[in-house]
């Protein structure tokens, strides 16, 4: 009977690893790229929001000049995109995403390179972004996360509560059968 308990405990531990967030590295021009802004200056919160929303409104694979910037929209199709709303800034290359973030704007080396924008609406957990924009020449100046219009971080829709309920129910059933 003790062996059964250990096997069940090991199975539950292994299954829970599948629910752990996985780290993901984003790269310049990868499959999460929304677009590129050349140069992305000025680069205040309102400016960055304007740049991201301009990219959202562009056709796939197109280029445009507006707001004193040159924009290039990637061919990556993320479906309908919500308007970006500023959520927060940082300077590290590792970023902890919760749910609800949709876009990540990263500014590289002031006036010398530009700004990469990624769609991160399908990512959670820790992500990393490049320290340099091109080789080892243009360093990260800082980044901004955006939520969709409507505001603050979006709740996870009850998935966590459902998983917790399933785990508790499974534990109750296991206890019932292991005691016999």
Percentage of the residues of the chain whose pLDDT score is greater than 70: 69
To the nearest whole number, what is the mean pLDDT of the chain? 81
Does pTM top 0.75 for this prediction? no
Task: Quickly state the pLDDT bin for 156 (edges 50, 70, 90).
Answer: very low
Distance CA 21, CA 105 (A): 22
Quick check: 46 pLDDT over 50? yes
Q: Model confidence over 69-123: pLDDT tens digits?
A: 999 999 999 999 999 999 999 999 999 998 799 999 999 987 789 999 999 999 9
Domain ranges of the chain: 21-153
CA angle 64, 69, 71 (to 5 degrees): 40
């Amino acid at each position: 009977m003790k062996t059964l308990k250990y096997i069940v405990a090991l199975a539950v531990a292994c299954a829970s690893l599948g629910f752990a967030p996985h780290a993901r590295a984003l790269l310049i021009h990868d499959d999460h790229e929304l677009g590129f802004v050349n140069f992305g200056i000025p680069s205040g919160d309102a400016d960055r929001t304007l740049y991201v929303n301009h990219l959202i409104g562009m056709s796939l694979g197109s280029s445009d000049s507006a707001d004193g910037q040159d924009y290039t929209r990637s061919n990556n199709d993320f479906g309908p995109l919500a308007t970006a709303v500023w959520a927060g800034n940082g300077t590290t290359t590792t970023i902890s995403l919760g749910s609800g973030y949709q876009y990540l704007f990263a500014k590289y080396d002031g006036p010398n390179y530009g700004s990469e924008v990624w769609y991160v609406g399908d990512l959670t957990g820790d992500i990393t972004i490049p320290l340099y924009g091109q080789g080892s020449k243009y360093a990260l100046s800082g980044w901004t996360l955006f939520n969709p219009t409507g505001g603050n971080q979006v709740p996870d829709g009850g998935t966590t509560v459902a998983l917790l309920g399933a785990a508790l129910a499974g534990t109750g059933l296991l206890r019932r059968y292991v005691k016999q």
